[in-house]
Amino acid sequence: MPDASQTDRIAAILTAHDGLEGPLLPILHAVQEEFGLIPDDAVPQIAEHLNIGRAEVHGVVTFYHDFRDAPAGRHVVKICRAEACKAMGGDAVAAAALAKLGTEWHGTTANGKVTVEPVYCLGLCSCAPAAMVDDRLIGRVDAGKLDAALTEASA
C-alpha cells in the first residue's frame, strides 16, 4: 500500500502531464526521476489516471531498459552490447567489469555503489567498444579505462 506522500507526489506528476499527447513515457520518466525507480504502487495510479490497463503500463515499464523496479547504485555503468562494440572486444570488457564488481547485468554491487546495465548503442560505433559511467561516455574502452572511470566517479 503506497503512503500518502508517494500517492500525492505521483498525482502531482500526473497532473503536470495532463493534456500532453502520448504522456505515458514522460510520466514514467518523471516518476523515476522523483523516486529513483517506478514503484509497483505507481502502476495502478498511472493506469487509472490515463484510463489504460495496468498491464499496458507494466508492459512499457518492463520493455524499456531505462526504467527500474529497484533503486540503482550511486553510479550507473552502461556497457554497449551492440555488434560494433562486441566485434571490437566489448564482451571481454563486460566480462571483466561484471567479474570485478561481483554482479550480473542489471545488478548493483553489495555496497550499493555501482549498477551495471547493458545498452544497445551509445552512438560511438567508430570508437568501439564503448561504455558510459554516469553521464560520461568512454570510447575505445578497455578494462583499465573502465576501472579508472569508476575510481574517478567514486572519488
CB 135, CB 149: distance < 8 Å: no
pLDDT-based confidence at 109, cuts 50/70/90? very high
Residue 20 to residue 24: CA distance in whole angstroms: 9
Q: Are residues 51 and 92 in the same domain?
A: no
Q: Are residues 85 and 148 in the same domain?
A: yes
- Helices 24-35, 42-50: crossing angle, 10 deg rounding: 150
Q: Are residues 47 and 105 in the same domain?
A: no
Question: Strand, coil or helix: what is 116?
Answer: strand
pLDDT-based confidence at 99, cuts 50/70/90? very high
Count of domains observed in the chain: 2
Q: Are residues 58 and 89 in the same domain?
A: no
Residue ranges making up the domain that contains 24: 4-63
Is 80 exceeded by the pLDDT of residue 2? no
pLDDT-based confidence at 155, cuts 50/70/90? low
Q: What is the mean pLDDT of the chain?
A: 93
105: domain CATH number? 3.40.30.10
Query: 60 Cβ partners below 8 Å, 6+ apart?
Result: 24, 25, 28, 67
Task: List beta partners, residue 42.
Answer: none
- Helices 24-35, 4-16: crossing angle, 10 deg rounding: 140
Task: State CA 51 to chain mean position distance.
Answer: 26
